[in-house]
């Protein structure tokens, strides 16, 4: 069987003697695979770094495309090649073995693996190991129309569920009184929840709204759906517009805990204010989205002269 054939590598990476319920890459197979497909990539990059360093010392201008890339990014490139060539459910070697095979430190390997963990491409389980998942669904949508994650997911056949639901009552803070012109002592309800897609956290949502606008099932804690869908289905109050501020943020310890990511990981963040026709803020929301699961875009119209 030719060494360059796909059948050769499939038989090497997935030996028939291994249980199909937990396929694992052997260290020998992984080293051979890296040698064949990606093993030379890191050494080539190191040679490029040496050339660049020499040019810097001699005062030569370095072109933008040949500047050095961080080692964790090059390690991520090598990992990407591995993940694309193995089947979902495959367990990767342990961190020490995988780091040695790639020629990097465990710290560099962890940083590279976090990229794929955030995308849902791999799952790490304490005491079990790291396994490869199927490519996650991507919620790809314009944001001109106000819709819940549940509706967006349903459109592409993606099943989502609610996790870490927390509902608490409180009164408006001084800042909220100034910003939203809510009455002093107005009873508010704060609802936080995690959206799970294919069993993994993909978004963390917080809704803050006057208690008078919530139906009894939400206030009782039996609610498992979308606050936005509940508000849109009601006749009163009549909703008018939703102003939204969109930015990228680093995950705080609390958000990281809910999304099962590292503190400081990059997230897409929406802060929104849903107004009634009377100008009252009906719902103030904070939404944190994992990159790789969501792709939002805006369809901008060309002005008519």
Q: Please tell me the least confidently modeled range out of 62-76, 148-162, 164-178, 261-275.
A: 62-76
- Measured CA to CA, the distance from residue 257 to residue 40 in angstroms comes to 38
Check if the beta carbon of residue 122 is closer than 8 Å to that of residue 55: no
Taking residues 126-150, what's their average pLDDT? 83
CA distance 20 to 28: 19
Amino acid 203: pLDDT: 95
Give percent of the chain with pLDDT exceeding 90.
Answer: 24
Beta strands in the chain (DSSP E): 122-125, 129-132, 139-142, 160-171, 187-197, 200-210, 239-250, 266-276, 281-289, 294-297
User: Looking at residues 20-29, what average pLDDT do you find?
Assistant: 54
* Range scoring the smallest mean pLDDT among 182-186, 205-209, 259-263: 182-186
Task: Please report the pLDDT score of residue 255 as a whole number.
Answer: 95
Res 28: pLDDT: 58
Q: Does residue 274 carry a pLDDT above 50? A: yes
C-alpha atoms less than 13 angstroms from C-alpha of 249 in its C-beta half-sphere: 16
* 222-270 pLDDT per residue, tens: 677 788 988 888 888 899 999 999 999 999 999 999 998 888 888 999 9
The pLDDT confidence band at residue 29, using thresholds 50, 70 and 90, is low
What does the pLDDT read at residue 242?
A: 95
Average pLDDT over residues 188-216: 89
Residue 158 Cα to chain centre, angstroms: 16
- With a CB cutoff of 8 Å and minimum separation 6, the contacts of 39 are 31
CB 144 within 8 A of CB 299: yes
Domain boundaries, the chain: 6-132, 139-297
Q: Does 39 score more than 50 pLDDT? A: no
Is a pLDDT exceeding 50 seen at residue 132?
Answer: yes
Q: Identify the pLDDT of residue 245.
A: 95
Rounded percentage of the chain residues whose pLDDT exceeds 70: 74
Q: Does the predicted model carry a pTM greater than 0.75?
A: no
Among the listed ranges 77-91, 124-138, 166-180, which one has the minimum average pLDDT value?
124-138
pLDDT of amino acid 124: 77
Q: What are the pLDDT digits (tens) for 103-121?
A: 999 999 988 888 888 777 8
Higher pLDDT among residues 144 and 198, named by residue: 144
User: 10 pLDDT exceeds 80?
Assistant: no
Mean pLDDT of the 89-113 span: 89
pLDDT tens per residue, range 283-294: 999 999 988 788
The per-residue pLDDT for 49 is 53
pLDDT averaged over the chain? 78
- Which option is the CATH number for 6-132: 2.60.40.4070, 2.30.30.40, 1.10.10.10, 3.40.190.10? 1.10.10.10
Distance of CA 277 to the CA centre of its chain: 35
CATH class of 139-297: alpha beta
């Amino acid at each position: 069987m030719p060494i360059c054939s796909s059948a050769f590598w499939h038989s090497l990476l997935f030996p028939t003697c291994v249980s199909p319920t937990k396929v694992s890459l052997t260290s020998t197979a992984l080293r051979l695979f890296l040698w064949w497909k990606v093993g030379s990539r890191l050494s080539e990059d190191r040679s490029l770094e040496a050339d660049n360093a020499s040019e810097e010392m001699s005062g030569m201008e370095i072109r933008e495309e040949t500047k050095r890339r961080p080692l964790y990014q090059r390690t991520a490139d090598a990992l990407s090649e591995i993940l694309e060539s193995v089947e979902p459910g495959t367990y990767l070697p342990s961190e020490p073995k995988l780091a040695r095979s790639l020629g990097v430190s465990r710290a560099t390997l962890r940083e590279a693996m976090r990229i794929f963990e955030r995308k849902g491409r791999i799952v790490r389980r304490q005491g079990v190991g790291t396994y490869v998942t199927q490519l996650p669904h991507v919620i790809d949508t314009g944001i001109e129309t106000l819709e819940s994650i549940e509706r967006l997911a349903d459109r592409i056949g993606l099943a989502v569920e609610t996790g870490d639901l927390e509902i608490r009552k409180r009164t408006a803070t001084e800042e909220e009184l100034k910003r939203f012109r809510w009455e002093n002592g107005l009873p508010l309800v704060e609802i936080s929840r995690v959206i799970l897609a294919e069993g993994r956290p993909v978004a963390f949502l917080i809704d803050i709204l006057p208690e008078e606008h919530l139906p009894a099932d939400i206030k009782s804690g039996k609610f498992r759906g979308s606050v936005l869908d509940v508000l849109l289905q009601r006749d009163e109050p009549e909703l008018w517009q939703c102003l939204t501020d969109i930015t990228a943020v680093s995950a705080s310890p609390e958000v990281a805990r809910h999304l099962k990511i590292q503190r400081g990981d990059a997230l897409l963040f929406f802060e929104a204010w849903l107004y009634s026709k009377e100008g009252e803020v009906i719902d103030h929301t904070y939404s944190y989205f994992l990159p790789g699961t969501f792709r939002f875009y805006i369809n901008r119209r060309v002005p008519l002269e």
